[in-house]
Structure 1
Amino acid sequence: MGSTDSKVRCVIIGGGPAGLTAALELSRAGVEPIVFEMDRQVGGISRTVDYKGYRFDIGGHRFFTKVDRVHNWWMDILSEEFLVRPRLSRIYYQGKFFDYPLKPMNALLNVGFFESILVGLSYVKAQAFPSREEKNLEQWVTNRFGKRLFEMFFKTYTEKVWGMKCTEIGADWAAQRIKNLNLGKAALSMLAPKLLTGKNQITTLIEEFYYPRLGPGQMWERVTEMLEERGHPVHLEHRVKTIHRDGEQVIGVTVVDASGKEERYEADHVISTMPVRELLNVLDPLPPADALESANRLRYRDFLTVGLVVESPELFPDNWIYIHSPEVKVGRIQNFGNWSPYMIPDKSTSCIGLEYFVQEGDDLWTASDEELIELGKNETAKLGLIDADKVIDGVVIRMPKAYPVYDHGYKENIDSIREYVDQVPNLHLIGRNGQHRYNNQDHSMVTAMYAAENILGANHDVWDVNVEEEYHEEAGTEKSHGASGERLVPQRVREASPIELLNDAFAKYDPVALGGALGVMIGFAVFLATAILLVQGGENVGETLALLGNYLPGYDVTWAGSIIGSLWGGVFGFVIGFVTAVAINVTVSIHLGKLLRRLGVLEGSLG
């Protein structure tokens, strides 16, 4: 089929946010877009599934962005259909709900006094005797929060999502994904919140967000209607079998429809949102062996949602809950009525979605729908969130390749692929799977807008879209780490050289960090001990503890005294920690110098 009229024709592979954004932008600019979507529904993982009138969001998609262009685009498409929704998300652990993000007082009350002391001691231990190397997530988190908090709030959920042990996930991911959260600052903010202001505050998550009345899929269903009105219908259930190229140009695609019929479409440009691993394998002729091998090494994490209809008008107030309890497999639970009440046709019922992070072909992925619905019903009841007998219906939605995985060698593989793709100027890779990049919806849309403008003559670097800059999970003003624009997912640990191992093993203490940790914990202990005595009351309250006044000027067992005592405790703890760290660093430096000199002599003799 040849090009019609004299228009530029662009074939777009994929009907998700990136593909449909590119199609509408090109259509408005006079370019003919032809969109092929392999599934029977548009939206990708931002779709909304309709099951007997109940609408299911696949993963939970807030409409919040720092990119004005994207925000305005959303408002232009669905301005009257947006709701402003309050955000409530919590962590479920050991039968209790913890605020997310974590709030010190809430966490303290939930774990209890004695567990709080153990958490504090674990934190002090981590500061005094940190792991000498920080190669993996467990070491990185434990060094900053202590072993007990790591096991409570990091270990189980991370391993559920990524299917890897925390000891296999690189520390770099933790360093950039868990930034601006500090246990010392958290405790200080609870004791004296006014002392933490401006850029030093712990970043918080947004409290409200926009959400389409009928779920995120409503956005992409409307864009599809607009394209059809403009004469560019989206072709559903059309799988791209071959992308034809002639030298350094793509010239068309061959697609297969639901009936098995093949048809070839010529194209001046091809925009692809399909998984880049599959893209390189359908090129004809195939790309060079090194690029193809790099593509075949890319990995993905898959995802399924078990939707349950419950005969109860109210279940829990959250939009979603993170499930950190290791005794169940479910990772997150959405309550769709709390996203939008219009997603529930029968107001005497509720609709929830249980999210399982899986690998295509594993036991959960291959289980029958009936088995998965029964599993979801039993696990939610086990957590105490629903009455299993009130579940009246269910449905299962499977989403392959939902999360591109950044494992060891990922960057080298992408670099090899880009080196080849950059030689094909009319092949444009955009979106999450198109670039094998863990973008959110808004930044996938920016890549689409840039690609469309490039077709019209611009020169944007689509790979340079910065998905971390002041991202929507942050309220602070600090720029995030890294200029590459990566929204990080776990990277497996790499092997270190002997010299790197020695430097890691003899890593220096941070005197300020150790002093601060001891100061906060000692000060907090004095405050807490005093507060407990005051709450208990009685005659001669705190008579023994009052002896501290001999060492801490101004301290007595009163509320004012508790503040004075905590400040003195902080000062003494800081001094002790600072001096201890400096002394250890001097001793360690002497021994490290000797070992490095010996290693240098050994390497010289072997070389």
Structure 2
Amino acid sequence: MGKTNLSQETVPTVVIGGGPAGLTAAYELQKLSDTHVPHVLEASDMVGGISRTEAFKGYRFDIGGHRFFTKVREVEDMWNEVLQDDFITVRRLSRIFYRGQFYDYPLRIFNALGNIGPYETYKIIGSFIKWKIRPKKQEDTFEEWVINRFGGRLYMHFFHSYTKKVWGIPPSEIRADWAAQRIKNLSLPKAVWNAISGANDTASLIEEFHYPRLGPGMMWEKTQQLIEEKGGTVQMRSEVVKVNRDGNRVTSVDVRRWDEENGASETIERVEGEHFINSMAVRDLIHAFDPPPPPEVVEAADRLKYRDFLIVTLMLDHADPFPDNWIYIHSPKVKVGRIQNFRAWSKEMLPDQDTSSIGMEYFCQKGDGLWSSSDEDLRKLASKELEDLGLAKASDVFDSTVIRQPKAYPVYDGEYKDALNIVSGWLKTLENFQTVGRNGLHRYNNQDHSMLSAMYAARNIMGASYDVWDVNIERSYHEEFEVKPKQKRLLGKLGKNTAL
């Protein structure tokens, strides 16, 4: 096994993962210190994680659309520092396809009433009043949370089917804290008022946003460049397979490296460091520790689940089959969940302005029928569904490519909260190791909150005391994340046995 000793004149920090969180941690650390040198290890051959921009024959496309909008000042400052004049301002246009009709999103009152009709509008209002008078006493699930704010009728129309499509489980099995995090500050009266007045302070409904002219991956490719210019390293095809620890301190990681282009055989190299920041999926992380955590922690990590994702990008022989940036597909008659029009994000995403690049997004599980389908079968499915939705003809498609993304979304099911309390409790006992980002915290953060958790981790290395686990948790849900007495006793036991 090879061994890497970073310079003794500096303080080496090993960063696991080259996505938004990992690269932000490295970038922030370099802003704070000239002596702390980040060493980023990325398993794939691209930086950016799920925020990367893939390319195929000159067409660039996102792995899910990524708007650059935030209320977090330090995140916005970093975006502007890195990309400067490479941002464009994009006017948002998105709609919902439901029961054969398109609904503007954010809500346009006359569009919505015209589509749904006066009778159903009356039923929606009546349902809303009913649930306001007699709300569900507990809001443990996504279903209960939404019904209390929108009424059962609107929930049935616009939340149930799409949520089930995205997660693959009934909304009654998804925890309410996911709703509070993703559609916070929104209710039916507020949505109607926004539609009438034009007022809007809800992040999920913003009407324009910044976007890198070559896609979100441009942000992370430039960040990588800046890190390396300042003396840090970002190594691709470098998968961390083991995290070595001595009691409560992590001492090194074992890295599997390979070079596909030159056909070189893989090697295992040990990389030592003084500090460690992780952004790989926390379930995988727990299994990477040597010696392993106590069995209770491993068992808890195994209860954390993920939703996988794939995108079929179709190239069409004409421009702009629809004007939207993206469309949410609530219809259960098709499998596609969301459709992107990448030219509507930035014209520079396409090499030929007389064509289209359409991303058909499917939510799935690794190994299921969709995931395991051949690329040709997925092209046929996506082309047919595009035609079934009346957006373009299948015969308009002249090329396609498929990207499969495992662990795209951490699942907020009935088990995750107790399991995450145990896992996070043990991880917090480590003195020089922090975990950040969407999968590193098992939290469905947007890009900005993943970045903020990474900034906090870098600042902690310099002596601050931020709780990275506290980023983007609704205040009303702090109580739900408190450790229960049984877990507290268990964590006390674990804290005494971290060298096991």
TM-score range, shorter chain: 0.7 to 0.9
Per-residue CA deviation, residues 185-204 of structure 1 (Å, 9 max, x unaligned), is 666888xx57xx999x9987
TM-score (norm 2): 0.87
Tell me the residue number matched to 1:317.
Answer: 323
Aligned counterpart for 1:109 among listed residues 90, 106, 114:
114
Aligned counterpart for 1:264 among listed residues 270, 275, 294:
270
Whether the 8 Å contact between 1:328 and 1:379 is mirrored in structure 2 is yes
Amino acid at match of 1:399: Q
Return closer, same or farther for 1:81/1:250 CA change in 2, 3 Å cut-off.
same
**Rg comparison, structure with higher value:** 1
Tell me the residue number matched to 2:213.
Answer: 213
* Deviation for aligned residue 1:33: 1.4
Q: Within 5 Å, which residues of 2 pair with 1:47-446?
A: 47-120=52-125, 136-138=141-143, 141-142=146-147, 145-171=150-176, 173-174=178-179, 177-183=182-188, 205-258=205-258, 259-446=265-452
Distance in 1 between residues matched to 2:79 and 2:386, nearest whole Å = 34
* Deviation for aligned residue 1:23: 1.4
Return closer, same or farther for 1:421/1:327 CA change in 2, 3 Å cut-off.
same
SS at match of 1:365: helix
Q: Taking CA–CA contacts closer than 8 Å with sequence separation of 6 or more, which of the two structures ends up with the larger relative contact order?
A: 2
Amino acid at match of 1:219: M
Whether 2:30 is the aligned partner of 1:27: answer: yes
SS at match of 2:439: coil
Whether the 8 Å contact between 1:185 and 1:202 is mirrored in structure 2 is no
Amino acid at match of 2:237: E
Whether the 8 Å contact between 1:311 and 1:390 is mirrored in structure 2 is yes
Whether the 8 Å contact between 1:182 and 1:202 is mirrored in structure 2 is no
Whether the 8 Å contact between 1:38 and 1:238 is mirrored in structure 2 is yes
* Deviation for aligned residue 1:122: 5.1
Q: Within 5 Å, which residues of 2 pair with 1:507-586?
A: none
Distance in 2 between residues matched to 1:135 and 1:27, nearest whole Å = 42
Whether the 8 Å contact between 1:464 and 1:485 is mirrored in structure 2 is no
SS at match of 2:10: coil
Whether the 8 Å contact between 1:466 and 1:483 is mirrored in structure 2 is no
Amino acid at match of 1:22: A
Return closer, same or farther for 1:462/1:139 CA change in 2, 3 Å cut-off.
closer
* Deviation for aligned residue 1:144: 5.2
Amino acid at match of 2:375: D
Name the count of aligned residue pairs. Answer: 470
* Deviation for aligned residue 1:102: 2.3
SS at match of 1:154: helix
Whether the 8 Å contact between 2:445 and 2:472 is mirrored in structure 1 is no
Whether the 8 Å contact between 2:175 and 2:413 is mirrored in structure 1 is no
* Deviation for aligned residue 1:225: 1.5
* Deviation for aligned residue 1:101: 2.3
Per-residue CA deviation, residues 254-295 of structure 1 (Å, 9 max, x unaligned), is 111123211111111111101111111111111111111111
SS at match of 1:281: helix
Return closer, same or farther for 1:176/1:59 CA change in 2, 3 Å cut-off.
closer
Whether the 8 Å contact between 2:181 and 2:473 is mirrored in structure 1 is no
Whether the 8 Å contact between 2:329 and 2:339 is mirrored in structure 1 is yes
Tell me the residue number matched to 1:14.
Answer: 17
Distance in 1 between residues matched to 2:210 and 2:202, nearest whole Å = 24
* Greater percentage in strand: 2
Which stretches in structure 1 are left out of the alignment for 5+ residues? Answer: 469-479, 487-607
Distance in 2 between residues matched to 1:390 and 1:273, nearest whole Å = 40
Per-residue CA deviation, residues 286-309 of structure 1 (Å, 9 max, x unaligned), is 111111111111111111111111
SS at match of 1:151: helix
Tell me the residue number matched to 2:485.
Answer: none
Distance in 2 between residues matched to 1:154 and 1:11, nearest whole Å = 42
Q: Within 5 Å, which residues of 2 pair with 1:442-453?
A: 442-453=448-459
Distance in 2 between residues matched to 1:434 and 1:178, nearest whole Å = 22
Whether the 8 Å contact between 1:137 and 1:170 is mirrored in structure 2 is yes
Amino acid at match of 2:49: G
Amino acid at match of 2:370: L
* Deviation for aligned residue 1:147: 4.4
SS at match of 1:386: coil
Aligned residues: CA RMSD: 2.7
Whether the 8 Å contact between 2:193 and 2:199 is mirrored in structure 1 is no
Amino acid at match of 2:236: L
* Deviation for aligned residue 1:425: 1.0
Whether the 8 Å contact between 1:274 and 1:434 is mirrored in structure 2 is yes
Distance in 2 between residues matched to 1:132 and 1:446, nearest whole Å = 34
Whether the 8 Å contact between 2:364 and 2:370 is mirrored in structure 1 is yes
Which stretches in structure 2 are left out of the alignment for 5+ residues? Answer: 259-264, 482-500
Distance in 2 between residues matched to 1:26 and 1:130, nearest whole Å = 47
SS at match of 2:406: strand
Whether the 8 Å contact between 2:334 and 2:385 is mirrored in structure 1 is yes
Distance in 2 between residues matched to 1:229 and 1:175, nearest whole Å = 40
Per-residue CA deviation, residues 491-537 of structure 1 (Å, 9 max, x unaligned), is xxxxxxxxxxxxxxxxxxxxxxxxxxxxxxxxxxxxxxxxxxxxxxx
Return closer, same or farther for 1:404/1:135 CA change in 2, 3 Å cut-off.
closer
SS at match of 1:432: helix
SS at match of 1:305: strand
Tell me the residue number matched to 1:602.
Answer: none
* Deviation for aligned residue 1:359: 1.0
Return closer, same or farther for 1:430/1:306 CA change in 2, 3 Å cut-off.
same
Return closer, same or farther for 1:12/1:308 CA change in 2, 3 Å cut-off.
same
Whether the 8 Å contact between 2:25 and 2:457 is mirrored in structure 1 is yes
* Deviation for aligned residue 1:54: 0.4
Return closer, same or farther for 1:139/1:414 CA change in 2, 3 Å cut-off.
closer
Distance in 1 between residues matched to 2:473 and 2:137, nearest whole Å = 32
